[in-house]
A = this chain, B = another copy of it.
């Protein structure tokens, strides 16, 4: 629901979401449903009426940050092929990432994700958000180079998926306050200059195990570990 369409005790869904609720889920007045504004507010509602194809719900309960992790997880990933990009969004959003940057690396072999594809990723993220019952839409970006992606990050606890790192253990798990930031290389890995940049920028290398992982599997494994540490 658009945050502007929520008042003290009622909210109005967009025509698209109304269609979904009324036609796909066949809601009728009195049917309970849930809504989120994607900015941390989560509403339990009861369908009250339909006005000009827009469903109007009465809000019976409000929750803040329902389904969200206590600390945000941000992912900086070396841009892989498109199918892998989609898979990362599809799984990383339910796992709770708050920001995803597909940064062009030396070994990416492709240009940054353009606006049209970013819009498609935003739709995948929105569907995953609803499905997973989270309440904050993640930020999606595609930096033209790794350095810009690193510079765009604020303070954080930084981890680099790296075969030469140590396994992630509770020793590495300080009391996280700032966001957790995870860097994962593109297919073929970060090159030496990029790896050096990340180490110099405070990323701690962690190993994800004895086998070689694709970019997309490594992203999901790293998020799963850090998410569990929260």
Instruction: Give the interface of A toward B (CB within 8 A).
Output: 66-69, 87, 90-91, 94-96, 131-134, 167-170, 208-214, 216-217, 220-222, 224-225, 227-228, 230
Other A-B contacts than A131-B212, A133-B211, 16 sampled, CB-CB below 8 A, are: A66-B210, A68-B210, A69-B210, A87-B87, A94-B212, A94-B214, A94-B217, A95-B209, A95-B221, A96-B210, A96-B211, A133-B212, A170-B170, A217-B220, A221-B224, A225-B225
CA distance A27 to B174 in the complex (A): 49
CA distance A91 to B227 in the complex (A): 18
- A interface, by DSSP: helix, strand, loop or mixed? loop
Establish whether residues A213 and B167, one from each chain, have CB atoms under 8 Å apart when the complex forms: no
Establish whether residues A94 and B225, one from each chain, have CB atoms under 8 Å apart when the complex forms: no
CA distance A169 to B9 in the complex (A): 41
A4 to chain B, nearest CB (A): 25
Query: Which of B67, B132, B168 meets A228, CB within 8 Å?
Result: B168
Establish whether residues A210 and B67, one from each chain, have CB atoms under 8 Å apart when the complex forms: yes
**Nearest B-chain residue to A218, judged by Cβ:** B94
A173 to chain B, nearest CB (A): 10
Within 8 Å CB of A169, what residues of B?
170
A167 to chain B, nearest CB (A): 6
CA distance A90 to B87 in the complex (A): 11
A-B contact pairs, 27 of them (CB 8 A): A67-B211, A68-B210, A69-B209, A69-B210, A87-B87, A90-B217, A91-B216, A91-B220, A94-B212, A94-B213, A94-B214, A95-B209, A95-B211, A95-B213, A95-B221, A96-B211, A131-B212, A132-B211, A132-B212, A132-B213, A133-B212, A170-B170, A208-B224, A209-B230, A221-B224, A222-B224, A224-B225
Establish whether residues A217 and B167, one from each chain, have CB atoms under 8 Å apart when the complex forms: no
CA distance A220 to B67 in the complex (A): 19
